Amino acid sequence: MHSHYILYPKTLEKLEKGGIVERVNRLKKSEGLPFFGGYLDPNAISREIEQLKDAGYYEKIPPDFTGVYTRTLNGILRSPKNYSWLIKRAKGYEKEPCQLEDLMLFSGEIASTVLKPDEIWDSGSSSEFVAIVSLFLMQQSRDPPEGYTWTTKRDDGSEVMTKITGSDNADLRIFQQDITPYPTIDPFGNEIGMRPITEEDSGTVAAHHSTEAKLLITAMRYIEQQHIPIDILKNKAKPLLEWAGSLSQKGGWCTEQFGGDKMSRNLFVEYQMPLNSKFAATLPYMHGAYNAYIKGEDLVIYDGEKIVARFLPEDAEHLVKGVFVQASRGLGRTSVATLIEAVKYRYSAQFTEDQKPMVALIAQLKD
């Protein structure tokens, strides 16, 4: 389901220069924007297209594009999978089958919120303008993102966005998406400055219950075992503790978010064990447990079938901060105070004492 798309940065610049962004912002402040999305009924789409036709929205389609547009629009409506986007990745163009959601972008229904009938086809690429205006409106109609988000450039040239947030049930969620602006051809055969987010682009960690502290401890194990220089963990994590102490606890609706600084030291039992596929950290989820371990130089999270999240060394500080921000905004079931207690314990004399049996065991295993 193409409920999400990527609008390329240069495309957004084009909308800004053309005054579309300003026009949408004015509308948001005055009348507000409806929510664009949800269940789609093919019959309802047909009716909406007829209404747009009656309102004159198809009168200015360039004559040399009318035939392609009509055939493709009707074809997607009847059988979406017979039509495709073409996305150029490192290994060449890949086809991504169309879905009904794509019609919301190209039919003009969403774009007509801010465009007049004589404006909607006024562009060099007849199908691009209506789609990118529609997508911008769709994105602006949704709630602002919560949690902590950052992007990372990878060695293969891709750019990955990571978001740490929570579900409606206050369970930890991590979303990763490849947001690289790959050259894309839309279903009408035109180059376009956007693309759908595919299954290949996305990874999700859907953990259960109070797993934020365990994720934090896993991140700290990764940082220490890989000797990643993280400024916030210097001087017994004083910079991190000072920053975390400045975060306001916005609370939430779970009792764990108001549970003070209680933290199970059992979470640290295997802290000194090598964080690899054999001694992986685990995060519970609906169908079992994720395994988090170091692969090469990266921390990966594996669901039993595939890697669903990958963190590079340059992601490490963001990962630590992201857990704290998620907790401070009440998006999970762990309070900031609990995470602070975990960090304090890690750098305490008691931690060193508690770890002696594990250190001895590791020495025996090496022998």
CB neighbour class for 150 (10 Å; exposed up to 12, middle 13-18, buried from 19): middle
pLDDT in tens, 116-159: 998 998 666 689 999 999 999 999 988 766 899 999 999 988 99
Rounded to whole angstroms, the Cα distance separating 70 from 66 reads 6
Q: What is the pLDDT of residue 256?
A: 57
Mean per-residue pLDDT for 249-255?
A: 63
Q: What is the pLDDT of residue 131?
A: 95
Q: What is the pLDDT of residue 268?
A: 94
> What residues form DSSP beta bridges with 94?
87
Q: What is the pLDDT of residue 321?
A: 98
CB neighbour class for 143 (10 Å; exposed up to 12, middle 13-18, buried from 19): exposed
- Extents of the domains making up the chain: 5-140, 207-366
User: pLDDT at residue 34 above 90?
Assistant: no
Using alpha carbons, select from 135, 125, 110, 128 the residue that is nearest to residue 57: 110
Mean per-residue pLDDT for 247-261?
A: 63
Q: What is the pLDDT of residue 125?
A: 67
pLDDT confidence tier of residue 1, bands split at 50, 70 and 90 = very low
pLDDT confidence tier of residue 259, bands split at 50, 70 and 90 = low
pLDDT in tens, 282-340: 999 988 899 999 999 999 999 999 999 999 999 999 999 999 999 999 899 899 999 99
Rounded to whole angstroms, the Cα distance separating 298 from 258 reads 34
- Given a contact cutoff of 8 angstroms between Cβ atoms, the answer to whether 241 and 346 are in contact is no
